[in-house]
């Protein structure tokens, strides 16, 4: 999958978003490569799902927070604006009561990422993707 390089912070964020999205969808996939939408339970292949964020990606503190992102069908993520209420209920079910509230509070914190931090994260998620593909034989 090659070496990851980016010219600037904006390009680094795009690269990290790409690997993070792939990681979340692979994480949520079973050994057949199928994911269940976090909000409506539709089942599709991981490559046909979106990486839905409970708190919007515009919030830098939670943009790459794993508990904030889950496989989500395009209908819920795009046309349903993420189905945030239902997403929050599922987050509390998965990680414990109050987790959605913690993510909401965390999202409001200001976090400035630098290019090196973002690229390190992109490399980490690239490695995690490669490992999940091997483990799940997808």
* Per-domain residue ranges of the chain: 9-127
C-alpha 28: how far from chain center: 10
Least confident segment among 2-6, 23-27, 80-84: 2-6
Please report which confidence band the pLDDT of residue 5 belongs to, taking 50, 70 and 90 as the band edges. low
Give CA–CA dist 38/116, Å, rounded: 32
Q: What is the pLDDT of residue 137?
A: 78
Give how far Cα 137 sits from Cα of 11, 123, 132, Å. Answer: 30, 21, 8
pLDDT at 2 over 60: no
| Average pLDDT of the chain, as a whole number | 94
- Residue carrying structure tokens 């904030």: 68
Predicted confidence (pLDDT) per residue in 43-53, tens digit = 999 999 999 99
- Between the CA of residue 67 and those of 1, 7, 12, 138, what are the distances in Å? 26, 29, 22, 23
Those residues whose C-beta lies under 8 Å from the C-beta of residue 78, and which sit 6 or more positions away, are: 50
**Would you give the DSSP letter of residue 82?**
T
Residue 52 structure tokens: 């839905």
- Please give the residue that has the higher pLDDT: either 4 or 3: 4
The pLDDT assigned to 129 comes to 97
User: Is the per-residue pLDDT at 3 higher than 90?
Assistant: no
Give the number of residues written for the chain: 138
Entry pTM: 0.92
Note whether 76 and 83 are within 8 A (CB).
yes
pLDDT, tens digit, for every residue of 82-92?
899 999 999 99
């Amino acid at each position: 999958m090659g070496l990851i390089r980016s010219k600037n912070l904006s390009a680094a964020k795009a690269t990290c978003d790409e690997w993070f999205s792939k990681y979340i969808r692979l994480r949520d996939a079973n050994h057949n490569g199928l994911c269940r939408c976090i909000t409506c339970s539709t089942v599709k292949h991981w490559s046909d799902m979106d990486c839905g964020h409970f708190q919007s990606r515009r919030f830098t503190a939670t943009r790459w927070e794993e508990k904030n992102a889950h496989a989500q069908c395009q209908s819920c993520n795009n046309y349903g604006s993420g189905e945030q209420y239902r997403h929050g209920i599922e987050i509390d079910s998965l990680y414990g009561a109050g987790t959605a509230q913690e993510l909401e509070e965390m999202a409001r914190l200001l976090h400035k990422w630098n290019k090196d931090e973002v690229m390190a994260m992109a490399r980490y998620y690239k490695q995690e993707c490669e490992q999940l593909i091997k483990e799940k034989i997808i």
